[in-house]
Structure 1
Amino acid sequence: MDEEDTATRFMAAVDELLQVAPAGLQPTGAALIVAVHIGLGSDSRSLSNKLGIAHALVLREISALSGTLLHIVRREDRTQRTFVELTEKAKALATTASNTLKPSSLSSNTS
């Protein structure tokens, strides 16, 4: 699977998640949930780098989703790197969204 196809599938997964998610979930938040769900990263810095989003924006979205859709595992005070995992609610939303969200369909390197 080429990079463009992977990006298209990722965005489709984000769009589908937004369709089934509670009102108020922002596209950035949906992208973080999908990224964590498929294993692109579990901390704010790696998510920021993989998604091409400023670290400060990722931190702000993590803060907004903390307790409802994301669980903060730990924080590094010096770097502000924040490690997260999906809550059960976020896992259920990701699963309900569609098969597009399955990790194998987005991270597979086979055609």
Structure 2
Amino acid sequence: MEWIRFIAAAVCISGGVFVMISAAIGVYRFSECLTRMHAAAMGDTLGLGLIILGLIVLFGFSFTTVKLVLVVAFLWTTGPVSSHLIAQMMVEKKKKREEEAKQK
């Protein structure tokens, strides 16, 4: 029974690492700021969630698990909000540049 838990944890952690590496490659390969930010935000959210889920499965329910859940809750609430604010700033900046170019 212990090896089933270990295999499930290994699959979750490996999947999370794969998603994080894919996000890093996406940030490197994409040319525009918004697409880079999307790759980074999705990689952080899903990759971190899978890694933490694997650690929770590995450790079982303990005080460490509660800490891990709190970390995930904090990062899942702040990550998308900050990504949205940065994207909104970029869109507003682009609109302002276009308006300035039309005036000239």
Q: TM-score, normalised by structure 2?
A: 0.27
Q: Report which of the two structures shows the higher radius of gyration computed on alpha carbons.
A: 2
Specify which structure has the higher proportion of helix: 2
Specify which structure has the higher proportion of strand: 1
Higher relative contact order (CA 8 A, sep 6+): 1
Q: TM-score, normalised by structure 1?
A: 0.26
